[in-house]
A and B are shown apart, each in its own frame.
Chain A
Amino acid sequence: LPENQPTPPDGETRSAGDFNMNKAVKLFVSAGLISTLGVGASAQKTMNEDFRKTAPAALAPKSFEIAKPFETTLPNNLKVVIFEDKRLPLVSYRLGFKSGDANDPKDSNGLTSAITALLNEGTKTRTSKQLAEEIERLGASVSASSTDDNTIVSASALSLYSSDVLRLMADVVLNPVFPESELALYKKNTIENIKYQRSQPAFLASEQIARTIYGTHPYGIVSASAADVERITREKLQAFHQKMFTPNNATLIVVGDVNRENILKEIRDAFGGWQKGTVEATKFDTPPVRTATTLTVVDRPGSLQSNIVLANLAIDRSNPDYFPVLVMNQILGAGASSRLFMNLREAKGYTYGAYSRFDTRRLAGNFETNAEVRTPVTGDSLKEFFYELNRVRNERASEKELRDAKSYLTEFSAPRRNAGRFDESARFAATLRFARPIICKRTAIKSTR
């Protein structure tokens, strides 16, 4: 609760009897009354008290620093980053590769994704079932996932099992066998999912917008097709795994209650024998240059809503304008108090929500704004979208909007909100060190100011 929260006048409500308690507890009691008694006389009075008429002032910004990690590189070029964090008896590992779905061969979309899905479905010495049982016995988790830019293998457990889970993780990373039976099941399920997503308007919109904005650049593809998945074979998985999963393309991040020297020895044992590979610089097509407004409709007969997306190319993740863009987008459409939401939902009632975002990836990025609106107001909604896009370009925002945007971004941004959650801090550290090197040097919070 904000420190300068005005105190309700004494004797006004039943919760007044709790005045000796601290503010947080007291207000909680009063909120409880409202919900249990319904809108009775006393609750009504509580809601109408004068102090509720003005929003509490924002807190003074707090400083936010990210702990300094220990960093080293093994002889096979595997980068190792260790954050010793003794607050809880837990350990979390992230092994990140700087390649992802965008690196899939042109005729084999979905290969990286299949590798991550099948990584812990069997190794040279453990069957899928044995892996599952061993992970369960340790109360651990081992999983892998990919985005366009990155592939990340994650593992976590009680720090008591730091070395056991690290060895399991190394086994799935280095020795996966992609059993035929598991591959067959994966293909069947994935094809069903691909069919299912075609029934979803949001998927159709994202697919079409990516195609329009990125053309033949790999970001133009949001999903493998059923035919792509059909073509996956065990041999292709093995060859591509061999090629992409190399130590010189990877960073291992350890966060948790570990002893640096001990864990480094364990890491050397587990990953020291991993052979270097060649990391080819991949050449991608350039996204098309846009010269005019284009309009693409995906017909979905029977739809009661129009799913509207407007987009243009913008900035990649390393662009120095990242932070000004973050603040500008907060004013325009990032949240429920941003302009787009206030206009299309609150003022016009066209939609449940209208938003904008900047998708900033390693190779390129785009601006995107969207809403799902009732079909009869599709044209009216477009008009409001263009009104807001032109307004943010042509009229200077107010001091208050700027202040609110900054205070939201600094106080409620994910890293701070989740700072107390253990695995979030691991994830955030991993993101910072690995995927977004630019904000290692100057934290997001500082740069937003």
Chain B
Amino acid sequence: VTLEDVERVAKKYISPDKIAIVIVGEAGEILPQIKTYSNKIEVFDAEGKAVDVATYSNANTGTPANVNGKWNLTIDFQGQQLPVRLMLKQDGGKVSGSLESMMGKGEIADAKVSGNKFNGTAKSQIQGQSVDLVISGTVDGNSMKGTLTIPMRALRRSISPETREVRKLNK
């Protein structure tokens, strides 16, 4: 193999002008950084359903919604309604606090509110395992709707790690 071979196969088999870019992450924060890379941008949720790109251009603008205070939420977990309590302290777009559920208590640090989107991670101890519960919701006045994700390798035999709907009952 020569230097000429290397250059030839690089030109032949790497096509930056026709490449497929896939990025998994916080779409609202990623999209503004990468818009110039393609005329054809698609967004999907984690279940593979298409999401309108415009959703994200609105979410990041405007003043952060007020999420300060105590929230009583319920998770629909395989037909059962399980309570989850959130205590949130807000400082502009930054939020900290705690999350309490039947699986124990978790500390929320570095959570964020952008527009009406609330995103945070509650570091919890579940059966001696350190687990990050990821909560993400859309705030509408005194109610919040969204998902609580439990990514647990250690517990996947005992608890079904699914995304569940979070619904605000009262504030």
Contacts and interface: CB of A to CB of B under 8 A. Distances in A.
A375 B30 contact: yes
A212 interface: yes
Contacts of A307: 23-25
Contacts of B46: 198-199, 204, 298-300
Given A291-B18, A311-B20, A375 B26 contact: yes
A114 interface: no
B20 A294 contact: yes
A192 interface: yes
B24 A298 contact: yes
A297 B31 contact: yes
B39 interface: yes
Interface string A221-250: 000000000000000000000000000000
A200 B27 contact: no
Interface stretch (A54-62, A99-107, A325-333): A325-333
Contacts of A312: 13-15, 18-20
A321 to B, nearest CB: 5
B14 A367 contact: yes
A393 B3 contact: no
Contact of A296 (B15, B44, B121): B44
A303 B14 contact: no
Contact of B21 (A294, A304, A305, A328): A294
B27 A299 contact: yes
A209 interface: yes
Interface stretch (B64-72, B86-94, B157-165): B157-165
Contacts of B26: 299-304, 306, 375
Contact of B18 (A290, A376, A448): A290
Given A301-B26, A301-B136, A449-B1, A325 B121 contact: no
Given A296-B22, A358-B13, A192 B157 contact: yes
B19 A293 contact: yes
A290 B162 CA distance: 35
A292 B19 CA distance: 7
B9 A324 contact: yes
Given A212-B20, A299-B51, A196 B3 contact: no
Given A195-B162, A303-B26, A328-B9, A295 B41 contact: yes
B156 A301 contact: no
B15 A302 contact: no
Interface string B50-83: 0100001000000000000000000000000000
A207 B34 CA distance: 21
**Residue with the greatest number of chain B CB neighbours at <10 A, chosen from A202, A291, A325, A380:** A325
Interface stretch (A25-33, A266-274, A395-403): A395-403
A332 B117 CA distance: 39
Given A192-B156, A292-B39, A324 B161 contact: no
Interface in B118-171: 119-121, 134-136, 146-147, 149-153, 156-157, 160-162
B22 A199 contact: no
A213 B100 CA distance: 43
Interface stretch (A63-71, A155-163, A384-392, A412-420): A384-392
A283 B46 CA distance: 31
Given A198-B46, A298-B23, A393 B16 contact: yes
A295 to B, nearest CB: 4
Contacts of A390: 16
A297 B24 CA distance: 6
A192 B159 CA distance: 9
B18 A306 contact: no
A389 B10 CA distance: 8
Given A297-B41, A299-B26, A375-B29, A193 B156 contact: yes
Contact of B24 (A294, A306, A386, A399): A306
A393 B14 contact: yes
A448 B6 CA distance: 11
A298 B16 contact: no
A195 B19 contact: no
Contacts of A344: none
A293 B3 contact: no
Nearest to B134: A302
A79 interface: no
A382 B21 contact: yes
Contacts of A309: 21-23
A306 to B, nearest CB: 4
B2 to A, nearest CB: 8
Interface string B96-124: 00000000000000000000010111000
A207 B149 CA distance: 19
Contacts of A314: 13-14
Nearest to B121: A302
Nearest to B161: A196
Contact of B23 (A213, A378, A386): A378
**Residue with the greatest number of chain B CB neighbours at <10 A, chosen from A324, A325, A367, A399:** A324
A321 B9 contact: yes
Contacts of B3: 396-397, 399, 402
B47 A295 contact: no
B7 A323 contact: no
24 contacts: A195-B160, A199-B150, A201-B25, A293-B40, A294-B20, A295-B23, A295-B34, A295-B37, A295-B38, A296-B20, A297-B25, A298-B22, A300-B25, A302-B26, A302-B134, A302-B135, A303-B25, A306-B25, A308-B23, A312-B13, A367-B14, A375-B26, A379-B33, A393-B11
3 nearest interchain CB pairs? A379-B33, A301-B136, A299-B27
Interface of B: 1-31, 33-34, 37-48, 51, 56, 117, 119-121, 134-136, 146-147, 149-153, 156-157, 160-162
